[in-house]
Amino acid sequence: MLFTLNGKITEVSAPSMKRLLDVLREDCGLTGTKEGCGEGECGACTVLVDGLPINSCLVPFGQVQNADVKTIEGLIGHTDLQKAFVSECGAQCGICTPGMILMAAPLVERAQAEGRIPALAEVQETLAGNLCRCTGYVAIYRAIQTACGAKSEQASVISGENG
């Protein structure tokens, strides 16, 4: 079956009912996409299909025929965000991190273009489908706000009024 994977037209033969998550990890060798819950709750398996984030644990491989799939391995040019996750300790065990970054990347891109720092509520809404059992979230929110230009000590206290 043909689909576009991280910008390259790719042919993979795998059963159509196999979860996209497993095809990516087992058949394509891309293990950046993680499995947390297998029931759509945690967002660790987030990938972009035709530009939209989805949970790859809930998508049959057959449904991405001819689609454009992007995983964390294919995300390039978000070094600000990736650096901020490191400097602000936005990752601990790392299972949730690829999903968090894929969800946050478009928000950061938009905010940087508009020269603003997204409010906490906006960051939280963007990450509503992503769970983290390590960081307590604060460090993740701080990393995202920092990537948009907030000073580390200001970030995560930036709430509705200032955003």
Ligand X SMILES: Cc1cc2nc3c(=O)[nH]c(=O)nc-3n(C[C@@H](O)[C@@H](O)[C@H](O)COP(=O)(O)OP(=O)(O)OC[C@H]3O[C@@H](n4cnc5c(N)ncnc54)[C@H](O)[C@@H]3O)c2cc1C
Contact present, 123 and 84 (Cβ < 8 Å): no
What order of strands is seen across the sheet that includes strand 2-5? Answer: 8-11, 2-5, 68-70, 46-49, 52-55
- Contact range with ligand FES by CB under 6 A, out of 1-9, 67-75, 87-95, 145-153: 87-95
Residue 59 binds other proteins, judged by CB under 8 A: yes
Q: Tokens for 156?
A: 């995560």
Residue 106 binds ligand FES, judged by CB under 6 A: no
Distance CA(138)–CA(135), nearest Å, equals 7
Q: Which among ligand X, other proteins, ligand FES, none contacts residue 17 (Cβ within 5 to 8 A by kind)?
A: other proteins
Residue 62 binds ligand X, judged by CB under 6 A: no
Q: Which among other proteins, ligand FES, ligand X, none contacts residue 128 (Cβ within 5 to 8 A by kind)?
A: other proteins
- Contact range with ligand FES by CB under 6 A, out of 69-77, 93-101, 103-111, 116-124: 93-101
Residue 125 binds ligand X, judged by CB under 6 A: no
Rank residues 17 and 113 by Cβ distance to ligand X and give the closer one: 17
Q: Select the residue interacting with other proteins from 43, 74, 98, 118 (CB under 8 A).
A: 43
Distance CA(29)–CA(113), nearest Å, equals 34
Residue 69: which of 144, 163, 6, 154 has the closest Cα? 6
Enter the DSSP assignment of 79.
Answer: H
